[in-house]
Chain A
């Protein structure tokens, strides 16, 4: 089973709102990722958590705040977003970090900022 789940599927928020995206996997994977994907572009890495510790932050603006409460859960807290932050937000997980590990994506959350 290679299932990563994400909630909500769709989210519309105003620029002054605070919301959170959630991601869950029950595959025993120890690495989890947040990506952002704009239309007709490849996914862009935002954050990597390895063994529940933040290992990569791709210079993401502070209005995006990741959290990894445990090895199965990953959150992305959103605050004071801009319309250009509208995109598909993808969560992925892998067994570990390193070259041999495959990343599996969740279905994504389609975010619209108004």
Chain B
């Protein structure tokens, strides 16, 4: 069974801090990974995609992928209360179009 695992949280961080969200996956065939943000009652919004080992930065967001450890993370710098949401990690194997989602981590940023 191919799985993507996330800590459900909540992860509470103060405004201005770095929030670190983590995800592990069991399928070594997974080639690409995606982070989605989902506000309560809304649909998932794509934040970052990452395909290669290492870091990928976009504004306040940095995605990190370590294929040897089967680990993906999302760092949010200068966290804002508006970042409070559930963050979904998803992976996809090379031979399928199916995204495998983790259960999501709820992030709370307090003023």
Interface residues of A (CB under 8 A from B): 2, 31, 41-43, 45, 48, 50, 55-56, 88, 90, 97-100, 102-108
Contact = CB atoms under 8 A, between A and B. Distances in A.
> Binding site of A, secondary structure by majority: helix, strand, loop or mixed?
loop
Interface in B28-73: 31-32, 34, 36, 42-46, 49, 51
A48 B98 contact: yes
Interface string B61-98: 00000000000000000000000000010101110011
A96 to B, nearest CB: 9
Contacts of A90: 43-44
B43 A105 contact: yes
A34 to B, nearest CB: 13
Interface centre among B31, B44, B94 (most CB of A within 10 A): B44
A107 B90 CA distance: 19
A108 B97 contact: no
Contacts, number: 50
Contact of A48 (B49, B97, B101): B97
Given A42-B103, A90-B43, A108-B43, A102 B98 contact: no
B13 interface: no
A42 B51 contact: no
Interface centre among A42, A90, A100, A107 (most CB of B within 10 A): A42
Contacts of B34: 102-103
Nearest to A42: B101
Contacts of A103: 34, 46, 99
Nearest to A90: B43
A42 B45 CA distance: 13
25 contacts: A2-B46, A31-B97, A42-B88, A42-B90, A42-B101, A42-B103, A42-B104, A43-B88, A45-B98, A45-B99, A48-B98, A88-B43, A90-B44, A97-B97, A99-B93, A99-B94, A100-B32, A102-B49, A103-B99, A104-B46, A105-B36, A105-B44, A105-B46, A107-B43, A108-B42
